[in-house]
Chain A
Amino acid sequence: AQKVTQAQTEISVVEKEDVTLDCVYETRDTTYYLFWYKQPPSGELVFLIRRNSFDEQNEISGRYSWNFQKSTSSFNFTITASQVVDSAVYFCALRNGSFQKLVFGTGTRLLVSP
């Protein structure tokens, strides 16, 4: 069975702090895909990144970076120098290689205060 765990329910930081959102996944498949989505207060989920199971290279996009480690089944998301606009709920998700469904974690609410 597939499962995604986001143990951090809510995180509060002050602007300009760095913050890491944790994601731990479970799957028996050797080919799978991991995702991060952002849900701002408006409600729409915004796709941030996809990572394939055969590519453990970490990725950086501006202030965002992702650390994928198969040895610990983790796909953590770090925001550097957080801003108020980063306040949102962030979801980690998993999809196996042959099936179209995404399995979502329960989300982490990030609150960045000025």
Chain B
Amino acid sequence: SQTIHQWPATLVQPVGSPLSLECTVEGTSNPNLYWYRQAAGRGLQLLFYSIGIDQISSEVPQNLSASRPQDRQFILSSKKLLLSDSGFYLCAWSGYRNTYEQYFGPGTRLTVT
């Protein structure tokens, strides 16, 4: 069966510090991968999605970036965090082509102070 992992689970970082959140998927090959952000009490905002290694699309211009160095690894980064980057970050995967639902990881709660 497929499993998706995210770490860290929680993170408190000062403004201006770098960020690296990692997501890995097990039990499937060539998944589509997604990063979402959920601000407190708000809906989900798609940040990035990837259909393959080094194939990443950005949905929202911001100071975040994403990379996919391996087939089942998706990394969300920032060189300098802003207060507005605080939120709950969710990674998700979906099957290649003909599976439609996305499956989400446990999330990372980021607080920028």
Contacts and interface: CB of A to CB of B under 8 A. Distances in A.
Contact of A50 (B42, B100, B104, B106): B100
Interface residues of A, number: 19
A42 B105 CA distance: 11
A65 to B, nearest CB: 18
A42 B109 CA distance: 11
B44 to A, nearest CB: 5
A100 B49 contact: yes
Contacts of B100: 33, 35, 50, 95
Interface string B36-68: 000000111010010100000001000000000
Contacts, number: 44
A91 interface: yes
A104 interface: yes
A91 B32 contact: no
Q: Which of B43, B51, B90 is most buried by chain A, counting CB atoms within 10 A of its CB?
A: B43
Contacts of B101: 35, 47, 50
Contact of B102 (A43, A102, A107): A102
A106 B43 CA distance: 4
A97 B25 CA distance: 24
B88 interface: yes
Contacts of B90: 43-45
B44 A91 contact: yes
B88 A101 contact: no
A33 B102 CA distance: 12
Interface of B: 32, 42-44, 46, 49, 51, 59, 88, 90, 92, 94, 100-107, 109
